[in-house]
Amino acid sequence: MHSVENINLFGKRIMVRVDYNLPMDDNQKITDDNRIKATLPLINYLIKKQAKIILMSHMGRPKGKKVVELSLKPVAIRLSKLLNKDVGFIDDCIGENVQEKVGTLKKGEILLLENLRFYNQEKINDLDFAKQLSLLCDVYINDAFAVSHRSHASVVGIVKFVPESTMGFLLEKELKNYQNFIKDPERPLLAIIGGLKISTKLEALKNMLNYVDKLIIGGAMANTFLKSQGINTGRSIVEDDLVETAAEILKKAKEKQINIFLPCDFVVADTFSKDAQTKNVSIHNIPDAWMGLDIGIETCIAFTKEIKKAKTIVWNGPMGVFEMKKFKTGTQAVADAIVESSASSVVGGGETALAAKICNVDKKVDYISTGGGAFLYLMEGKELPAVIALENDSFK
């Protein structure tokens, strides 16, 4: 596979798959433009090379229909401001009108296509749709790590039809950071895994036992592990069908001499509400009618102690319902401990990136991934379909 820097880009039509799936308010105003900013190094590089730049992305889940609220037009406006340069926009992504518009592009100009997912063919990797996208370019660049675990037309299918394909700076950076933090880290390597369910991170948990020295488990998923040890978890969320699996993970970790740290106390609540009654209790004293919504004080202290011993930290998943102030303390304590430690730190994207931002550590950790699902996919030990497609393309 060629590097972007080894491809002759001058005057060519360069199609870039970006991830501009951004959060917006009810007035279609962008509330977080970090994903746009992450693509600016590549876009500015292409401008300097006087390429004709075509950007494509998805937004939300329109289910194959045109949804005005999910148009990428506001993104074109924001990108124009960030670049201090006009960015064109067209209300479709394939067809004669789009081909004509691309044909009018001058060197250094940029055109953003409309939401790819307005066509259901995008998600099912329809090859005819992919071929129509390929007609718009001479070179294809994937700079959308966050969707590279999906076998979609714009990340996999298109590669079959474009003369030259490669990955962009952001995708390269994501893969390099994963390699540095997971495959070749400074040890001890500590993984902090949280969130709602084991089921969404089961394969990642199993695979991480091949790499980590220590593992901290928090969030609601810790309840299933505790129940596997015979602990009453009250009305806390538990995946009963995975209790035995949780026990097996604990057993395997012990065999590999990997220390797993589980909560020793919780902040429990009588209802799932920001106005709930709460109290801090030992894991052995959870009332039957109450539920754990955050790790407790003693757990925060214990987790912080282990975090300070680490040389490399991978964090994926919050410790509680951090969106509610009453149940944010555990996630905040872990976030603060990570940035106060001397360890190198990487944060899995998605919900964990949001938690890092709410806890005001997003500018202090070493790296925040732009893709939660893709990051987790790598943690499961899998190869990204988009990267496989690009590697196979090198044999054209």
Residue of 78, 197, 252, 326 marked catalytic: 197
Query: What is the rounded distance in angstroms from the CA atom of residue 137 to the CA atom of residue 52?
Result: 9
**pLDDT bracket for residue 1 (50, 70, 90):** low
The terminus-to-terminus CA distance of the chain in angstroms comes to 10
Q: In the 3-class helix/strand/coil scheme, how is the chain assigned residue by residue? A: CCCHHHCCCCCCEEEEECCCCCCECCCCCECCCHHHHCCHHHHHHHHHCCCEEEEECCCCCCCCCCCHHHCCHHHHHHHHHHHCCCCEECCCCCCHHHHHHHHCCCCCCEEECCCHHHCCCCCCCCHHHHHHHHCCCCEEEECCHHHCCCCCCCCCHHHHCCCEEEECHHHHHHHHHHHHHHHCCCCCEEEEECCCCCCCCHHHHHHHCCCCCEEEECCCHHHHHHHHCCCCCCCCCCCHHHHHHHHHHHHHHHHCCCEEECCCEEEEECCCCCCCCEEEEEHHHCCCCCEEEEECHHHHHHHHHHHHHCCEEEEECCCCCCCCHHHCHHHHHHHHHHHHCCCEEEECCCHHHHHHHHCCCCCCCCEECCCHHHHHHHHCCCCCHHHHHHHHHCCC
What mean pLDDT is predicted for residues 319-334?
Answer: 97
The CATH number assigned to the domain with range 4-167 reads 3.40.50.1260
Q: Would the pLDDT of 177 be above 60?
A: yes
pLDDT digits (tens, 9 = 90+) for 40-91: 999 999 999 999 999 999 999 999 999 999 999 999 999 999 999 999 999 9
* Mean pLDDT, the chain, whole residue set: 95
Active site residue 197: yes
Give which of 389, 392, 390, 387 is closest to 179, Cα–Cα: 387
Q: Would the pLDDT of 395 be above 70?
A: no
Residue of 320, 350, 371, 372 marked catalytic: 350
Active site residue 173: no
**pLDDT bracket for residue 392 (50, 70, 90):** confident
Angle, in degrees to the nearest 10, between helices 169-178 and 385-393: 120
The pLDDT, as a whole number, for residue 394 is 52
Contact 168, 42 (CB under 8 A): yes
Active site residue 60: no
pLDDT digits (tens, 9 = 90+) for 338-353: 999 999 999 998 899 9
Q: How, if at all, do strands 189-193 and 312-316 pair?
A: parallel
Active site residue 350: yes
Query: What is the rounded distance in angstroms from the CA atom of residue 172 to the CA atom of residue 237?
Result: 38
**pLDDT bracket for residue 396 (50, 70, 90):** very low
CATH topology assigned to domain 175-379 = Rossmann fold (3.40.50)
Q: Would the pLDDT of 393 be above 90?
A: no
What mean pLDDT is predicted for residues 204-227?
Answer: 96
**pLDDT bracket for residue 361 (50, 70, 90):** very high
Contact 306, 192 (CB under 8 A): no
Residue of 12, 13, 35, 101 marked catalytic: 35
**pLDDT bracket for residue 2 (50, 70, 90):** low
**pLDDT bracket for residue 375 (50, 70, 90):** very high
Residue of 11, 234, 373, 381 marked catalytic: 373
Q: Where are the domains of the chain?
A: 4-167, 175-379
Q: Same CATH fold, 175-379 and 4-167? A: yes
